[in-house]
């Protein structure tokens, strides 16, 4: 597994302090992206939170996920959450060390009081003393929030006084991207009242012996406005893969006003799927997105591979990136009109931008949002094993096409047949037989798709040349 050390530096530790006008929460930022370029310690907000205790619990839930491993729990994991200023809201994101749980707290405009919200993305320090202080936050304590350093800190300190170095595996980065792509295929499946939400979530198991996962479960909306279990994937059902992984929601449960459940369409039978669980809070939302299995991180889902495999999407992504303006909701139709691309090409470009951490996906608003992850995420594409193997097959001229059938001759001499079923590709290889397309295309299908697209592009170019000659 390829990994590197990520250095995260802060001027000082984040801290919760008592003041004459209440509590003051200072969240320190690291190096991050802003509209004016990269800044060492950007400042995104200073003002009050309208629901201090709720916001404190939400931040702790996001930090819980950042520090957790829900699979192989004996291994340690701790990465500071990411904060994004989107002009009208603050988003706090994290990803579990096992690559299977994505968390996001959206503090909306109604949850903020006073001060403008800036634009940009960076890490934010959430240390153990801060966690302890936030857990003691009272319901009536006014809370002043500052995201970014005070002006005095910038001018009087020569450099960072707090530096953390944490391993950052490619698998973790790929998972962060795949979680967004997976969520883009979800629809709202159920909405529970506060009482039903509390009843359902408190009844969930916390894990088996020694924290082992209890496996995937299925639920369907009930006539009483809640969720009831079902033994299989029936139409309208939602998968709850590893219910013990929703434990972070317990932090905010007593403040919940509703629970929304999102998932892909299922027609019956089938394997476990990912799903998203959103607790609606006063002025904010907390969402957990779960991979299809506790032992199966988002990094292997393959949802981004098709978009990565096209040169057209790479060119489109460069154009779309210029048009992004830290929008909290990216409108595909507006981008299509501004870029001159079709909506389908805009969506493919957004998927590609997601692989470098430049967009996320908000299931509540069914829309992408602009952010720039403060990691060297571009190496995700370079080090994706299936994509790299597919390009090697194309470069070795190992692919031949005969109508709807593609033949791929591997380096070891094995021959694989790739068939096109109305745009969906199947392959005769063992990898495809095991996953049946459930984890994205295999390297052979990717190679065939690359060759087909290359031939189509060449034909278009020839048509342009012929047309110009006339």
Q: Map residue 206 onto helix, strand or coil.
A: coil
Query: What one-character DSSP code corresponds to residue 59?
Result: H
The percentage of residues in the chain with a pLDDT greater than 90, rounded to a whole number, is 50
| The pLDDT of residue 106 | 98
Comparing C-alpha atoms, which of 205, 9, 6, 162 is closest to residue 97? Answer: 6
CA angle 40, 43, 48 (to 5 degrees): 155
140 pLDDT above the threshold of 90: no
- The stretch 103-115 carries a mean pLDDT of 94
Q: Return the CATH architecture of domain 181-297.
A: Roll (3.10)
- The stretch 188-214 carries a mean pLDDT of 84
- pTM here is 0.83
Comparing C-alpha atoms, which of 240, 256, 231, 241 is closest to residue 189? Answer: 240
Lowest mean pLDDT among 33-37, 351-355, 396-400: 351-355
pLDDT band per the 50, 70, 90 thresholds, residue 101: very high
The percentage of residues in the chain with a pLDDT greater than 70, rounded to a whole number, is 86
* CATH number of this structure's domain 3-167, picked from the four choices 3.30.1360, 3.10.150, 3.40.50, 1.10.1760: 3.10.150
- The tens digit of pLDDT for each residue in 33-80 reads 999 889 999 999 999 999 999 999 999 999 999 999 888 775 566 789
Q: Which residues pair with 421 in a beta bridge?
A: 424
How far apart, in Å, are the Cα atoms of 390 and each of 21, 298, 308, 385, 394? Answer: 61, 20, 11, 9, 6
Paired sense of beta strands 101-107 and 284-290, if any: antiparallel
Cα–Cα distance for residue pair 445/416, rounded to 1 Å: 9
Greater confidence (261 vs 151) lies with 261
Residue with tokens 């960072």: 160
271: how many CB neighbours lie within 10 A of its CB?
Answer: 15
Mean pLDDT, the chain, whole residue set: 85
188 pLDDT above the threshold of 50: yes
Lowest mean pLDDT among 19-33, 143-157, 427-441: 143-157
- The stretch 439-458 carries a mean pLDDT of 80
How far apart, in Å, are the Cα atoms of 376 and each of 44, 173, 321? Answer: 22, 9, 17
| The pLDDT of residue 300 | 60
Paired sense of beta strands 22-27 and 143-147, if any: parallel
Q: Which residues pair with 370 in a beta bridge?
A: 359
Q: Which residues pair with 238 in a beta bridge?
A: 219
- The stretch 244-265 carries a mean pLDDT of 96
Question: In the numeric block, which tokens belong to residue 312?
Answer: 């057209």
């Amino acid at each position: 597994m390829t990994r590197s050390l990520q250095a995260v530096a802060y001027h000082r530790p984040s801290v919760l302090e008592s003041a004459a006008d209440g509590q003051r929460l200072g969240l320190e930022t690291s190096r991050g992206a802003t509209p004016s370029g990269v800044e060492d310690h950007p400042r995104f907000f200073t003002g009050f939170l309208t629901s201090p205790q709720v916001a404190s619990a939400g931040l702790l839930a996001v930090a819980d996920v950042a520090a957790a491993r829900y699979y192989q729990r004996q291994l340690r994991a701790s990465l500071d959450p990411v904060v994004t200023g989107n002009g009208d809201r603050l988003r706090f994101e994290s990803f579990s060390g096992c690559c299977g749980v994505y968390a996001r707290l959206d503090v909306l405009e109604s949850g903020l009081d006073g001060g403008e919200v800036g634009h940009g993305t960076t890490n934010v320090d959430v240390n153990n003393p801060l966690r302890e202080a936030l857990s003691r936050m009272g319901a009536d304590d006014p809370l002043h929030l500052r995201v970014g350093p005070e002006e005095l800190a910038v001018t009087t300190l020569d450099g960072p006084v707090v530096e953390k170095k944490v391993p950052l595996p490619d698998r973790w980065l790929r998972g962060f991207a795949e979680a967004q792509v997976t969520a883009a295929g979800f629809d709202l499946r159920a909405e529970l009242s506060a009482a039903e939400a509390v009843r359902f979530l408190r009844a969930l198991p916390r894990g088996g012996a020694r924290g082992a996962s209890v496996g995937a479960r299925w639920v369907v909306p009930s006539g009483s406005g809640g969720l009831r279990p079902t033994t299989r994937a029936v139409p309208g059902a939602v998968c709850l893969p590893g219910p013990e992984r929703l434990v972070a929601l317990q932090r905010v449960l007593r403040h919940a006003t509703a629970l929304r459940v999102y998932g892909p369409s299922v027609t019956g039978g089938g394997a476990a799927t990912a799903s998203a669980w959103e607790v609606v809070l006063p002025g904010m939302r907390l969402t957990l997105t779960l991979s299809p299995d506790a032992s199966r991180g988002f990094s292997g889902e393959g949802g981004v591979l098709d978009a990565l495999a096209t040169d057209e999407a790479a060119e489109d992504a460069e154009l779309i990136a210029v048009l992004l303006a830290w929008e909290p909701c990216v409108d595909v139709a507006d981008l299509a009109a501004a870029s001159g691309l079709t909506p389908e090409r805009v969506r493919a470009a957004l998927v590609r931008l997601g692989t470098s951490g430049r967009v996320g996906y908000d299931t509540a608003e069914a829309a992408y949002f602009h952010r720039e992850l403060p990691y060297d995420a571009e190496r995700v594409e370079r080090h994706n094993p299936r994509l790299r193997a597919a390009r090697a097959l194309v470069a070795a001229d190992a692919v031949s096409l005969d109508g709807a059938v593609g033949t791929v001759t591997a380096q070891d001499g094995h021959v694989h047949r790739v068939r096109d079923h109305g745009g969906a590709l199947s392959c005769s290889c063992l990898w495809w037989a095991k996953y049946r397309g459930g984890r994205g295309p295999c390297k052979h299908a990717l190679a065939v798709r690359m060759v087909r697209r290359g031939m189509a592009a060449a034909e278009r170019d020839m048509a342009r040349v012929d047309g110009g000659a006339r």
